[in-house]
Amino acid sequence: MDSHGQYEQRVVWTVVGTDIGPLMLAATRDGLVNVVFHATDAARDQALERLAAWLGTEPVEAPGSPLLAEAIRQVAAYFACGRQDFDLPLDWSLISGFNREVLRELASGVPYGSVVGYGDLAGRVGRPGAAQAVGMAMGANPLPVVVPCHRVVESDGGIGGFGGGVETKRRLLALEGVLPEPLF
């Protein structure tokens, strides 16, 4: 508790190695709050600065924290093809409004091994015609992989954009059996 009797926000983080490169996982007492692709030093440091500004506290590196243990285990199992669904408490505090609504629908309504179009996802949240806004929500996703924005594709069959890079999106979709594995 702080000096006013309020519980301070605690943010812990670690970097885990995956088949798509290092991922930074950050959590609060409410759940996993952020996943960051390509978490090498520069990207990690930038993400930590953003988290500190957004959440009002300095994130602490704590790979052994109980707040991260289950997320680490489930991410490892996902990349080992032993887990298709994430069952983690999520802290949605980094996203709100339409973006949060879209991401919650994505997390609950687009299962492993399937894809959905931007426009279809917009329709699912009662906003047909808001495909571009759905694309913006995907780009704002603070929990990629766990909230599977890689499963959102263009209606014409194109793969669409991706914050982690199109090659990362292809690899995630290949892992889930949606696309063939690259030959090299």
Reading the chain (184 residues) residue by residue, the pLDDT tens digits are 444 444 566 999 999 999 999 999 999 999 999 999 999 999 999 999 999 999 999 999 999 999 999 999 999 999 999 999 999 999 999 999 999 999 999 999 999 999 999 999 999 999 999 999 999 999 999 999 999 999 999 988 889 989 899 999 999 999 999 988 665 4
Distance from C-alpha of 87 to C-alpha of 76, rounded to nearest angstrom: 13
Distance from C-alpha of 4 to C-alpha of 161, rounded to nearest angstrom: 45
Tell me, what's the pLDDT at 156?
Answer: 86
Pair of tokens at residue 138: 């995907």
Counts of helices then strands in the chain (DSSP H, E) = 6, 6
Can 81 be counted among the known catalytic residues? no
Pair of tokens at residue 155: 């209606």
The one catalytic residue in 149, 152, 172, 175 is 149
pTM of the entire structure?
Answer: 0.91
Tell me, what's the pLDDT at 182?
Answer: 64
Tell me, what's the pLDDT at 4?
Answer: 42
Pair of tokens at residue 174: 């290949």
Report the amino acid identity of residue 49.
E
β-pair type (60-61, 31-36): unpaired
- Say which residues have a Cβ less than 8 Å from residue 150's Cβ, sequence separation at least 6: 144, 162, 164, 168, 169, 172, 173
Tell me, what's the pLDDT at 5?
Answer: 41
Report the amino acid identity of residue 54.
W
Q: Please say whether the beta carbons of 52 and 58 come within 8 A.
A: yes
